[in-house]
Chains A and B, each alone.
Chain A
Amino acid sequence: AQSVTQPDIHITVSEGASLELRCNYSYGATPYLFWYVQSPGQGLQLLLKYFSGDTLVQGIKGFEAEFKRSQSSFNLRKPSVHWSDAAEYFCAVEKNNDMRFGAGTRLTVKP
């Protein structure tokens, strides 16, 4: 069955530190890949997406993600985290018009 896994339920980082959120997927072929962010009580906002081509994609708010076919991964990174980045992050994959979301990773930023 197709699935999206975010192994980390909750991550805490210090402000200014680097961040990496993990995402693995299980699909027969490379799907479309997305990262979304959700602030409490709000909807989701698209951070970035991967279709094909360059495996390192840039998004909004200084985020980037790297697609690794061999590892079926699409990890989200940010070099220096700001307090305003505290939120929940969702990885999503789409194949054959079917979008699947991971369970999310909650990010806490320490001062």
Chain B
Amino acid sequence: DGGITQSPKYLFRKEGQNVTLSCEQNLNHDAMYWYRQDPGQGLRLIYYSQIVNDFQKGDIAEGYSVSREKKESFPLTVTSAQKNPTAFYLCASSPRTGGYGYTFGSGTRLTVV
């Protein structure tokens, strides 16, 4: 079955560490997105990519980085510059932008220890 796979499901980061969250899709979707979810705040866009080798900052990109070297993959790195990284991270994809709706992965919960 086609879908989006996020890994790991749970991730623990020590202070000062960079960590990378994986997102892979086999839906042949052009566009991919990363969102951060905090209780009571809905979803906030971190980065998005509409095509391979191109990506754009969202509303809260500071302290995060991404790459899009393959259509299927859109990994997110949470750097040590992100001061409050504890959150639930969701990856999504869509065939292309413009009214298609998103398919979401099951998320990665990141906790700073």
Total chain A interface residues with beta-carbon distance under 8 A: 20
Q: Among residues 27 to 78 in chain B, which have CB atoms less than 8 Å away from a CB atom of chain A?
A: 33, 40-43, 45, 50
- Closest chain B CB from A40 CB (angstroms): 10
Docked pose: A51 CA to B101 CA in angstroms:
11
Are the CB atoms of B99 and A51 closer together than 8 Å?
yes
Q: Name the one of B4, B42, B107 contacting A103, with C-beta atoms under 8 angstroms.
A: B42
If over half of A's interface residues share one DSSP class (helix, strand or loop), that class is named, otherwise mixed; here it is strand
B4, B97, B102, most chain A CB atoms within 10 A: B102
Are the CB atoms of A97 and B107 closer together than 8 Å?
no
Check A32/B99 contact, CB under 8 A, given A44-B90, A104-B42: yes
Are the CB atoms of B42 and A94 closer together than 8 Å?
no
Determine the chain A residues whose CB is within 8 A of the CB of B104 once the complex forms.
36, 43-45
Report the nearest A residue to B56, measured CB to CB. A97
Determine the chain A residues whose CB is within 8 A of the CB of B42 once the complex forms.
90, 101-104
**B95 close to A (CB within 8 Å):** no
Docked pose: A94 CA to B33 CA in angstroms:
14
Determine the chain A residues whose CB is within 8 A of the CB of B101 once the complex forms.
34, 46, 49
**A53 close to B (CB within 8 Å):** no
Report the nearest B residue to A32, measured CB to CB. B99
**B106 close to A (CB within 8 Å):** yes
**B98 close to A (CB within 8 Å):** yes
Determine the chain B residues whose CB is within 8 A of the CB of A90 once the complex forms.
42-43
Docked pose: A32 CA to B101 CA in angstroms:
9
Determine the chain B residues whose CB is within 8 A of the CB of A104 once the complex forms.
40, 42
Report the nearest B residue to A99, measured CB to CB. B102
- Give the A-binding residues of B (Cβ under 8 A): 4, 6, 33, 40-43, 45, 50, 90, 92, 97-99, 101-107, 109
